[in-house]
Amino acid sequence: MDTLRILKGHGTGNDFVIVPDPDGSLDLPPAMVARLCDRRTGIGGDGLLRVVRSAAHPEAAAMAEEAEWFMDYRNADGSVAEMCGNGVRVFVRFLVREQLVAPGAVAVATRAGVRHAVIGADGPDGPAEVTVDMGPARLPGPDGIVVRVGERSWPARNVNMGNPHAVAFVDDLDHAGELRTAPTVTPAAAYPDGVNVEFVVDRGERHVALRVHERGSGETLSCGTGACAVMVAAARRDGLDPARSGQPATYTVDVPGGRLRITERPDGHVEMTGPAVIVAEGRIDPDWLATG
């Protein structure tokens, strides 16, 4: 690799290094991803979005007819994740900016399947928000999940948005402490591949706020899949189930980096709407790459 074009983007403060690689020709081992995501010695990011044509990637080739582009998402530690909600909005923003797709309906292949997004034209008030059909939530259980931080513990709900989440309702977001290390979640068997943990408080009617500790990235300013998991957990707690009532349920979910609007539809699909921003673009110094 002599040089590498990269961009930097974020969605509600969840930030990503974007690596265009249409032909899927780059070798991006976990150590290189971690170097690029390092906030002091690299570009810095909660994760990395590699932009690859679905047909050029073995994990996405089967989705190529439905979605031309594959979001190869990696966490900041280099680990692979199935899905990233903020990431998919930023990914769509990137595709439109590069004129790789037209504004409007955009399908994106992910490891959790194809996700369908809608992005409008930018207006006088700034860039259009992006809405993504995040698919249905699964609530696989078991009962009795507990999240612990230091001396405190809370019951939690297992919500899967393509990736795993433990959602704990708490009295005060500060009670989760510094979150420098991952909360302990038991039983461990509920999450064989690790877990993202959300701490949630109520802010008003159908309005909640969260903090999140992400698998592979630590505490972040936002998590789109986490916000969707939180919305569904809050709806069930509040006695709402659109699949049974036939009525959609919409919640405002505040994250440390902004605000997302999440709707669960009667068909069970969860829609997320929020901003997606491209911050910068440039090239990685070939010497830096070579000394990895």
Ligand X SMILES: N[C@@H](CCC[C@H](N)C(=O)O)C(=O)O
Alpha-helical runs (H) found in the chain: 30-37, 85-97, 224-237, 242-245, 286-290
From residue 174, give the alpha-carbon distance in Å to each of 54, 149, 152, 220, 233: 42, 11, 12, 15, 20
Of 29-37, 146-154, 221-229, 278-286, the window that binds ligand X (rule: CB under 6 A) is 221-229
Question: Is there a binding annotation on residue 50?
Answer: no
Structure tokens at 83: 């899905």
Is residue 115 a contact point for ligand X (CB under 6 A)? no
- 8 Å CB contact between 91 and 108: yes
Element (H, E) at 117: strand 113-119
Is 75 flagged in the annotation as binding? yes
- Residue 86 assigned ligand-binding role: yes
Q: Would you call 223 a catalytic residue per the annotation?
A: yes
Structure tokens at 233: 């957990």
In whole angstroms, the minimum distance from the beta carbon of 84 to ligand X comes to: 4
Vertex 259: Cα angle to 256 and 265 (nearest 5) = 130
C-alpha gyration radius of the chain: 18
The catalytic residue among 223, 229, 253, 272 is 223
> Is 183 a residue that touches ligand X (CB under 6 A)?
no
C-alpha torsion angle, residues 204, 243, 159, 137 (rounded to 10): -110
Taking residues 138 to 167 in sequence order and writing x for each that binds ligand X by CB under 6 A, - otherwise, the string is -------------------------x----
Among 37, 51, 81, 137, binds ligand X (CB under 6 A): 81
Using CB under 6 A, pick the residue from 214, 219, 264, 271 that binds ligand X.
214
Tell me what percent of the chain is helix, strand and coil, each rounded to the nearest 5. Answer: 20, 45, 40
* Sole binder of ligand X in the list 20, 135, 224, 274 (CB under 6 A): 224
Task: Identify which of 290, 281, 292 has the alpha carbon closest to the alpha carbon of residue 94.
Answer: 281
Q: Which of 37, 48, 84, 106 is catalytic?
A: 84
Nearer to ligand X, 47 or 183 (CB): 47
**Known binder of ligand: residue 215?**
yes
DSSP assignment letter at 195 = -
**Residue 131 touches ligand X, criterion: CB under 6 A:** no
Q: Which of 110, 158, 160, 217 binds ligand X (CB under 6 A)?
A: 217
Per the annotation, the verdict on 37 as an active-site residue is: no
Pick the binder of ligand X from 10, 18, 43, 75 (CB under 6 A). 75
**Of the candidate residues 42, 47, 78, 275, the single one contacting ligand X (CB under 6 A):** 47
Beta-bridge partner residues of 216? none
CA distance 239 to 121: 37
211 binds ligand X, rule: CB under 6 A? no
Name which of 87 and 135 has its Cβ closer to ligand X. Answer: 87
- Could you give the residue numbers annotated as active site? 84, 223
Interaction site with ligand X (CB under 6 A): 14, 47, 75, 81, 84-87, 163, 196, 214-217, 223-226
